[in-house]
Amino acid sequence: MKRPQSGRRRFLQGTEGMSAVEMALVLPVLLLIICGVMDFGNLYLQWNIASEAAREGARMAAINPAGSTTPKSQADVESFIQSNYGDTLTITMSPSPATAGSPVTVTVSKPITFFTPGIKAMFPEDFTSVSGKSVMQAESST
């Protein structure tokens, strides 16, 4: 006949709830890592959009279309960028309008939002937007 085990020994041998406890301990950390990766991916995407918009705006400001003698103003560049990249962008251009032979600088800022509350704490308080800057030599149409 098999001898009954003491209460303590039976408690140590039971593994019914161990996986649930382990999952409860690991799941929040795993979710934080996954959300952090998504937030950093979103941050990179927003920075890439701002950089690309600045590059396209500088290209538009630097090159006059064939047959056009009027240089592009900041309003032209703003309407072009906002129609292609959204109206949440802040655009600055110097000089406005661009003069042939001189460099034209376009800076684009885009506000960012974080999805995970803890990720925002990793950045400075004034980190609310990303920006892209592009400088190109203005050309004449002739």
Phi and psi at residue 7, to the nearest 5°: -60, -40
Distance CA 35, CA 22 (A): 20
DSSP symbol at 98: -
Q: Summarize pLDDT for 1-30 with one digit per residue, the tens.
A: 666 555 555 555 666 778 888 888 999 999
Determine the 3-state secondary structure of 93 from DSSP. strand
Helix-strand-coil split of the chain, %, nearest 5: 50, 15, 35
Model pTM score? 0.73
Distance CA 125, CA 57 (A): 29
Instruction: Tell me the pLDDT band of 61, cut-offs 50, 70 and 90.
Output: confident
Which run of H or E residues covers position 59? helix 18-62
Under a CB-based contact definition with an 8 Å cutoff, are residues 92 and 106 in contact? yes
91: exposed, middle or buried (Cβ count in 10 Å: 0-12, 13-18, 19+): buried
Residue 26, pLDDT score: 93
Q: Summarize pLDDT for 74-101 with one digit per residue, the tens.
A: 788 888 888 888 888 888 888 877 777 7
DSSP symbol at 137: E
